[in-house]
Amino acid sequence: MNLPTSAKAVIIGAGIVGNSMAYHLARLGWRDIVQVDKGPLPNPGGSTGHASNFLFPVDHTKEMTELTHESMRQYKEMGVLTECGGIEVARTPARMQELQRRMSSAKSFDIDDTQILTPDQVKELVPYIDETVILGGFYTPSVCVVDSLRAGTIMRERALEMGALSVFANTEVLDIEVVTVTSRPWSRTRAVSRPTTSSSRAAAGARRWREWLARSSR
């Protein structure tokens, strides 16, 4: 497929953020969406493909806590969430104070499955730990691990099934130009579809460096 000359929206990147954006825009009725990534699919090689992907449901802001819980709900619906529980331990008084603040946040946001553990209680759950070097722990049974790479693929496929999306892998964005039309700015994206090897990325970087030098010398 050839790259289109225009689109209602262009999404750069096919990681969890880009795929989520494509799916939710499509679900809200958007069409004529183009998504590009310089890597191959389904794993373009970005941070989504090698992140630890643990989700801790407690944060110090209500907005981030609610966002995390909504994300967990969506991951569970897609079948890519595994609840495993999680313990964060403290070896210093300052770290122990931070865990107490996490406990306060959990109570404030009605997350009732968390608790502060003594070193002996941590030992009961994690037998191989040396409880003599810790001051305590913060336990959240609902901590989970997710397959965000698979989740991104599912969301991208759903947007494709809606007829809302065109996807171009191995397509590197070379430039974004902002143009003002009738006093309203809009952006024009220049991209090229080609296999992205380390040598092609190096060549692109060298070309951009030469272009910058040429502009600077004017």
| pTM of the entire predicted model | 0.75
Using the structure block, give the residue that is written with the tokens 């494709």: 160
Nearest CA to 1 among 158, 161, 171, 164?
171
Q: How confident is the model at residue 90 (pLDDT cuts 50, 70, 90)?
A: very high
Between 184 and 23, name the one with better pLDDT.
23
Strands, E, within 13-161: which ranges? 33-36, 54-55, 81-83, 86-90, 115-117, 136-140, 144-146
Asked whether residue 99 carries a pLDDT value surpassing 50, the answer given is yes
Which domain CATH number covers 170?
Answer: 3.50.50.60
Asked whether residue 87 carries a pLDDT value surpassing 80, the answer given is yes
Which domain CATH number covers 82?
Answer: 3.30.9.10
Do 116 and 165 sit in the same domain of this protein?
Answer: no
Number of domains in the chain: 2
Structural domain including 205 reads 9-49+149-216
Convert the pLDDT of each residue in 102-159 to its tens digit.
999 999 988 888 999 999 999 999 999 999 999 999 999 999 999 999 999 999 999 9
- Give the residue from 116, 146, 176 where a domain finishes: 146
Q: Tell me, what's the pLDDT at 207?
A: 62
